[in-house]
Structure 1
């Protein structure tokens, strides 16, 4: 390991060491003029490939890695091809609302423990256009799942509504990392529709809808609205009373949310 740096569990670090995987990630990059943002560059193996093609900004929380990265990319930093920001990325979002002041693509090997949170924040960031991230396969399946899939959840609904395209590009086995994680990883690709913005409370609505995935959707929704309003919504949208949460499309969830919200505003 470079400079005897060991991966830290508290930061969810697993350093990618397989150069063929790095090459495939670079080949997956959209052909555009967007800036690149990387989260958790680690020892800079992916970064080294990114800066060859585009200006890159990286967010790193681990103090021990900052000096290694500053040394490794001294020339790129001096030439302003690479900007290294030493901070917690979630705090950066809280403070500025965006990770870059113009259109950017998020390309990163994300720490598993905050991957879902990071992707959801990237969905909200109006400057983020494309997302290519390595995450736990199980989580990638939830983001890319479509109606009817057993992995379909609120994450799949949100992804479908805010994206032009979403899919898993390929899987990455544990032995591609040092140390190897205990799970299979996947590269998730999401191309956002930047004209779409979801209501802040929509996520809360979906959490209720999927709170008990095997129960009928109407049962889950009964904690949100009264029986009569719920019955009216089902009739208006021509929905079967027996529907389970994974059997309802993203567009129908959007319509249901609007009707629930409108119903509450009237009452």
Structure 2
């Protein structure tokens, strides 16, 4: 491995466990999609990805970008690899996508930006599969189901926009250099490209989970008429005592549609 000191401001922890890289590669779907990698770091995962498909990688660290340019000179010349220097979130803001055709995202994401990257990938209509390593706590939230204590707005959104979401492997701190203070996990999400959630629905969910251990109807009463909510809960057979983590994702969609239309379920979708 190239001896480079990790930079805290970029949330860098370099993966040194080759077995985890192999697990990621083996979990990749067999399709014709392009590959996008975010934060290639020292290129350990990149080396395996370019053996499978053409790759577009986004790297924000100028020093690492220079190292990668030398390390992958032949792959860059043959167009197997394209490395873009810059902030991936700025790319999304500018072009709404990270590639010009359907792609799968495979990456070891920095903790500080992982949630935003996954949520942007959900909104990116050209991104189909997401296989990323994140902090285990974040992984648990994205893959949680109704009734799980980790179930939050992230779990609701994931269930509404995906066909499958699961944790592939838990990765201990000693698999990295420097080791983080917590466990990591690789998650796999297969999106349903026909589904999406609106900005309004995301805002609605934020209100639903603002105090996750309180009753859902109490959280919503801060933003919506309580009498209307009681009627909606009764119609949808949701107990007034239900906590946010006890309500299924599909029901959140119905509640949102009804409160948006004063109790009627029409012309508003999540």
Partner of 1:80: 79
The answer to whether the aligner puts 1:125 opposite 2:124 as a matched pair is yes
Counting only pairs closer than 5 Å after superposition, residues 126-205 of structure 1 correspond to structure 2 as 126-205=125-204
The CA deviation at 1:262 is: 1.4
State the SS of the aligned residue for 1:201: helix
**Cα distance in 2 between the residues matched to 1:197 and 1:88:** 24
Q: Size of the alignment, in residue pairs?
A: 265
Partner of 1:208: 207
The CA deviation at 1:263 is: 1.8
**Cα distance in 2 between the residues matched to 1:227 and 1:21:** 50
**Cα distance in 1 between the residues matched to 2:220 and 2:7:** 42
The CA deviation at 1:145 is: 0.2
* Alpha-carbon contact 2:161-2:197 (below 8 Å) kept: yes
* Alpha-carbon contact 2:39-2:110 (below 8 Å) kept: yes
The CA deviation at 1:172 is: 0.7
- Which shows bigger deviation, 14-23 or 49-58? 14-23
State the SS of the aligned residue for 2:261: helix
Partner of 1:57: 56
Counting only pairs closer than 5 Å after superposition, residues 16-31 of structure 1 correspond to structure 2 as 16-31=15-30
**Unpaired segments ≥5 residues, structure 2:** none
The answer to whether the aligner puts 1:110 opposite 2:109 as a matched pair is yes
The CA deviation at 1:233 is: 0.9
Which string of whole-angstrom CA distances, capped at 9 and with x for unpartnered residues, describes residues 39-58 of structure 1? 00000000000000000000
State the SS of the aligned residue for 2:262: helix
**Cα distance in 2 between the residues matched to 1:243 and 1:21:** 39
Which string of whole-angstrom CA distances, capped at 9 and with x for unpartnered residues, describes residues 60-103 of structure 1? 00000111101111111111110000000000000000000100
The CA deviation at 1:264 is: 8.8
**Cα distance in 1 between the residues matched to 2:196 and 2:174:** 38
Which TM-score applies when normalising by structure 1? 0.97
Partner of 1:233: 232
Which TM-score applies when normalising by structure 2? 0.96
**Cα distance in 2 between the residues matched to 1:105 and 1:263:** 39
State the SS of the aligned residue for 2:199: coil
**Cα distance in 2 between the residues matched to 1:239 and 1:62:** 49
The answer to whether the aligner puts 1:43 opposite 2:48 as a matched pair is no
State the SS of the aligned residue for 1:36: strand
**Cα distance in 2 between the residues matched to 1:262 and 1:90:** 33
* Alpha-carbon contact 2:228-2:263 (below 8 Å) kept: no
State the SS of the aligned residue for 1:213: coil
**Unpaired segments ≥5 residues, structure 1:** none
The CA deviation at 1:19 is: 1.0
Calculate the aligned-residue CA RMSD, in Å: 1.3
Partner of 1:243: 242
The CA deviation at 1:260 is: 1.2
